[in-house]
Amino acid sequence: MVGLLVEFACPSFQFNAASTQQRGMTVHQSIAFPLVSLVVCLCMAGCSSDKTGEGWSIDDGVEVLRPLPEVPTGAPSADAWSSTCERSQAVGEYDGKLLVRRYLPSAEPIAVDLATGEWEPAREIPRRWGDETLYAAGYRRIGHQEWVWGHPGIALYRPDSNAEWREATIGFVNIEQVNGVTIARGGADQEAACTMFRFGLYRHDGGDSWTRIRDNISDMGIADGRIFVTENTNEGLRLIVSDDAGTTWTQADTEHLGSPFEVVPYDGGYAMSSSGHVLISDDGLDWRSVDLPEESHLLGDMIDSPFGPLVFLNAPWGRPDFELLQLVDGRLQPFAVQPPEAGGLAVVDGRLAVLSRQKGILRYDLEAAEWTPVELALGPVACLAKDEEAFYAGNANKINRLGRDDGEQWEPLLLGGQRSGCIIPTDAGIFAKIQGHPDAPNDSNYFVAHYESGNWRLLEPPLSWAYVRRDGELFGCDDGILSRYELSGDVEQVATLASDSGRCVVVSANQQRAIVLASGSMFIIGLDDRGVTEAERGLLRRGENDQLRQIRDVFDTEDGLFMTFFALPEDQTNQDVLMRWMPEDEGWVEVAAPNASVDGGVRAFAASETTVYATTPQAVWRLENGLQWKQLVDWDGAAFSPYGFDAAGDELLLTTENFQVYHYLPPHN
């Protein structure tokens, strides 16, 4: 046999094509390799760093596993912005760029250029220390010296970029420089700095040496060469000010001390946000309150910006009732161009950004006077779907489409200020459940919407609890009545259910027009959508105490009917359980998980019309004949850790904790 050896160089790796096993990855082949083997390196947008990592595919004419371009999910989820060590949403400033962190399982710090929206991994910042993953909460470079700190109780230092990182002698919350002196707020170690609320104030002595100069500090702010700290005393908090880098202190006269706390320069004096109030001072010692807009109830952190002090009014978690305020002439007034979402404020190199939990990073374009999203993946890809024309991926804040034939990058399916569930491709087009649609009866529920001519249109009447079948038919169940809904608005009653059915939800349907209903721990099997009454009814019980199982999903396949259930408290694996319906026994039999010894267990189950698939860390499995698992992909490496999963049509989409989406055509035998 003749072998063709080809080596490709991609930004993040080199791949030797002489073998099908590289970087610990094996694709289990169903036929022998042809005479000439060729491995193609697909380096799309997702290969921009080692985060997506392995831009490759293997194609022997039968199976293909390939990466798609990185999905710009935009929003990070709350976990990306916070840890037990973190006091702000931005990690810091890195080479003139805004440093932020991705969703926790990745922990990757990335540097965003607020002038262009371009970004790159901050590879010089460690992601691991020993056996621990470092979730960076803060980073500071002063001169050539660098510090980074975060969860779980890790603080590191190096004297310059050519030196090795080593453990720091104290822990940090923030590090600032005032009049050439470096001052830190922190604790005796990083674990203390992560958990305590009374900190020490430290002066830098050079190298990695620090002297503790003050105890019982709550918050610290630096403005115009002065240090402002709130100090815990027996009488409560007090504000003290130092003009000489912490050598001497003067007590200020103010009220409303508390967190969040920030001091910034303002109009030759100072402005402060503290405990939901805004105060101003000419000398930093005597403070007076600024009137807030009527009915305001919460303020976030204040920040110094090219537009003066800025602060969000209300809703730091992104509810609609927020407003970005600017301090002008001693009064708070709305910023001229309101951002689409609230969040943490950051300024780097004179450029303003909002870090939103709903919309990700939004940078302010001064010339265009508009807010522009930074197109990057901060949060996990929670939704995957596909049809004959395109792939769909995203999360509740952003849905994206990638054309199969001509797609080089993901294009957003616009949601505006709305949120959505996952895309549901059908023969009648694509559907999703939308929250916040302008035509919805309320803003709290999700309602079924159909994508038409670039817009999401709600059904008429609006339908909240519904199942959308692949053929485009919709079913809803309320007050014991099962109904079919048409896009035209017609509603047809299918069946009246028993009184104990409660509020049922149609969660699955097979190709023979039968419906499976599930609600909590109750199931109904074999209800025909033309009015035939249910064939089987029961409650799902499992466990030592005969506890009711909560149904997660239903899979109706050629290999049989399957259900997945949430784990019970006593389940040691803490993973979903897959069970198969045995009609002859009128009962359920548990299907053993694939390779039960795999650390981490099953990540996700999904099903096609033919059978069930499962993912475990570094592996993809298919259930053969409803009885035995066959391993399809084995990648012994952390880069491939399946997170999301779609298996419709026996064509798989998988997403990893490192934000890469893979398209996989498994072998047929």
pLDDT at 664 over 60: yes
DSSP line for 107-147: --EEEE-TTT--EEE-TTS-SEETTEE-EEEEEEEETTEEE
pLDDT at 57 over 50: no
More confident position, 539 or 136: 136
* pLDDT computed for residue 64 by the predictor: 59
pLDDT at 285 over 80: yes
pLDDT at 666 over 70: yes
More confident position, 388 or 13: 388
Q: How confident is the model at residue 604 (pLDDT cuts 50, 70, 90)?
A: confident
Asked, as a colleague might, if the bond just before 583 is cis with ω within 30 of 0, I would say no
Mean pLDDT of all residues in 458-470:
81
Mean pLDDT of all residues in 603-620:
86
* pLDDT computed for residue 509 by the predictor: 47
* pLDDT computed for residue 204 by the predictor: 97
* pLDDT computed for residue 11 by the predictor: 26
pLDDT at 50 over 60: no
pLDDT at 27 over 70: no
* pLDDT computed for residue 12 by the predictor: 26
* pLDDT computed for residue 114 by the predictor: 94
pLDDT at 331 over 50: yes
For 342-357, what is each residue's pLDDT tens digit?
Answer: 888 999 999 999 988 7
Distance separating alpha carbons of residues 390 and 383, to the nearest angstrom: 14
For 624-637, what is each residue's pLDDT tens digit?
Answer: 988 899 988 776 55
Q: Of the spans 6-15, 39-48, 456-465, which averages the highest pLDDT?
A: 456-465
pLDDT at 58 over 90: no
For 391-449, what is each residue's pLDDT tens digit?
Answer: 998 877 678 889 988 777 888 887 766 778 788 888 889 998 888 888 899 888 888 89
pLDDT at 62 over 70: no
Cβ proximity of 64 and 83 under 8 Å: no
For 370-388, what is each residue's pLDDT tens digit?
Answer: 998 887 777 677 788 898 8
* pLDDT computed for residue 422 by the predictor: 82
pLDDT at 42 over 80: no
Instruction: Determine which helix (DSSP H) or strand (DSSP E) holds 80, and give its type and residue range.
Output: helix 78-81
DSSP line for 529-584: TTSPPPSEEEE-B-STT-PBPPEEEEEEETTEEEEEEPPPTT-SS---EEEEEETT
Collect all residues with Cβ–Cβ distance below 8 Å to 52 and sequence separation of at least 6.
12, 46, 67, 70, 658, 659, 660
The reported pTM is 0.69
Q: How confident is the model at residue 601 (pLDDT cuts 50, 70, 90)?
A: confident
* pLDDT computed for residue 313 by the predictor: 83
The tokens describing 649, both together, are 């049509």
For 523-555, what is each residue's pLDDT tens digit?
Answer: 666 555 554 445 555 555 554 455 666 777 778
* pLDDT computed for residue 600 by the predictor: 63
Collect all residues with Cβ–Cβ distance below 8 Å to 512 and sequence separation of at least 6.
none
| Domain spans in the chain, listed from the N-terminal domain onward | 382-464, 471-539
Please provide the average confidence, as pLDDT, over all residues in the chain: 76
Distance separating alpha carbons of residues 229 and 115, to the nearest angstrom: 33
pLDDT at 596 over 60: no
For 194-243, what is each residue's pLDDT tens digit?
Answer: 877 789 999 999 999 999 999 999 999 999 999 999 999 988 899 999 99
Closest CA to 17 of 31, 33, 38: 38
Poorest-pLDDT segment among 130-139, 145-154, 529-538, 613-622: 529-538
What is the C-alpha R_g of the chain?
28
Closest CA to 300 of 287, 288, 315, 319: 315
Q: Residue 389 in 3-state DSSP?
A: coil
DSSP line for 276-327: TEEEEESSSSB-EE-PPPTT---B---B--TTS-EEEES-TT--SS-EEEEE
pLDDT over 70 percentage in the chain: 72
* pLDDT computed for residue 211 by the predictor: 97
For 82-114, what is each residue's pLDDT tens digit?
Answer: 555 666 678 899 999 999 887 656 667 889 999
Cβ proximity of 323 and 333 under 8 Å: no
Collect all residues with Cβ–Cβ distance below 8 Å to 469 and sequence separation of at least 6.
426, 475, 509
Distance separating alpha carbons of residues 273 and 305, to the nearest angstrom: 14
- Half-sphere exposure for 460 (CA within 13 Å, toward CB): 4
